[in-house]
Amino acid sequence: MAISSRALFDLADSHRIYVEEGLAAYREHQIAEENEPLKPGAAFNLVNKLLKLNEVLEHPAVEVILLSRNSADTGLRIFHSIQHYKLSITRAAFCSGNSPYRYIPAFGSQLFLSLDGADVRQALELGVAAATIVPSRHSRKSDDHLKIAFDGDAVLFSDESEKIFQQEGLESFARKEKLAAKEPLEGGPFKPFLAALQQIQMAFPDGEAPISTCLITARSAPAHERVVRTLRAWNIRIDESLFLGGLAKDSFLQAFEADIYFDDHREYCDSASNLVATGHVPHGVLNP
């Protein structure tokens, strides 16, 4: 997993100084405060729980890479903060104002989280699961069990069906999904990440994995069948599947107690972020 410094830590005040006063003032501020730990950011809890998986796995399976537009000089505070919270992060790319997305494939990352939408789009074009973290005050910290929720079309699956819904309406969408029920959907940007999570789950006895996954989709019967058959064809299991038929997802995310939720619809992400940490996936027909 690759993560930007602003997704991992709360750098809002520092970023404001950079925007309002310039690079020199930002550098001076970061050096003056370099021994003052930064507060956790929107994706901190997710990172912390992912890294804790290594403590209970026979062979460590999770690595987190820090990607930052800071220089190594101004980034010293970030590494001090990593040490303060005892996060096992040792690899990083500090790019001195340039976009770090180009290093994602070199590090072999399967997920990239950032507050910079342009970097996220570039990562998606490279074939990496990526999302723009939507600022949220919510963070589930009750235990070490990691719960990740996904939207379906344009996230786990391609946007081929979403295109039909947007262009032809619900009736045509339902009719065509029923006819294509036995034809697996193409994979979306988060299919490889879901598969990687399943590999970690398989390292534990049945029912004991500290990871739970959930599909939360606006689909309903009969359009649910194609989803079920697609996951079966991929040989990927998802722990819970909610077919909501257009109901608002917020209360279901809260009931699942998701640590993070990924959706391609920005409006839904903004709403969900009031309850759970949320990642907007700028992919598919809804994100031209």
- Residues annotated as catalytic are 151
Measuring CA to CA, which residue among 283, 282, 273, 257 is closest to residue 42? 273
| Residues linked to residue 212 through DSSP beta bridges, in sequence order | 147
| Residues linked to residue 277 through DSSP beta bridges, in sequence order | 260
Backbone phi, then psi, for 74, in 5-degree steps?
-75, -20
